[in-house]
Structure 1
Amino acid sequence: MYNPTIVAHFSNPKHSGELPNANQELKIGNSVCGDTIFLKLRIVQEKVEDAKFTAYGCATALATADIFAHYIIGKQLSEIIATPIDIREAMLGELEPSQMHCLYILHELFTQLEQVAV
């Protein structure tokens, strides 16, 4: 069963597609289930101006990419990095045990973005 947050972002993703003028790319892969996310970013003066993703995998993984892109657009990198763990983990809503791997994906997206900011 998918929670309403996952359903909304999987059914009507706002940030899927290509970003021709991207200047950063994050790639997340989960070797256990095969989920793969490519997230392209346009960062200007330490601010995420736009983000688009392409993803292959389960509905929850695709929703995770859309949720993350939605969250970071318009924010400074320092603000994104400072997002507390409890806020990060609440972003996906309540997950079924079989969907918990998407929390790892979400944490990895934050970690990779932190590395861009260094």
Structure 2
Amino acid sequence: MPHHLMNLRHVPDDEADEIRALFDEHGVRYYETPPSRWGISMGGFWVHDDDEAARARSLLDEYQRQRRDRQREDFEARQARGEVGFWHSFRRKPVTILAACVAILVILALTLAPFVGLG
């Protein structure tokens, strides 16, 4: 019976490539189904054998632990340099941020307007 190892929906290309290389390096006999264009099927990495599934799962768990640590370190480094957060986004795209804020205020005003006159 096939074992689903990992969903490929919203997985970045670099992560999927690293997982393929990991499985190839360790001789994991896997197959891959791509996610559908419209998001109906999830796609993913699969194996047929129970033993192969356990081995692949342990490799995948260790890889994801290492990737999480790398991504966390990268985020913390970018945060220390001031490259993440609201103000960084605002400095990069002030018109977009202001337009979004104005749209939020307009929607809020239109939503709450009927209730303001009741008090």
Q: TM-score with structure 1 length normalisation?
A: 0.28
Higher strand share: 1
Which structure has more relative contact order (CA 8 Å, sep 6+)? It is: 1
Higher helix share: 2
Q: TM-score with structure 2 length normalisation?
A: 0.28
Please identify the structure whose Cα radius of gyration is greater: 2
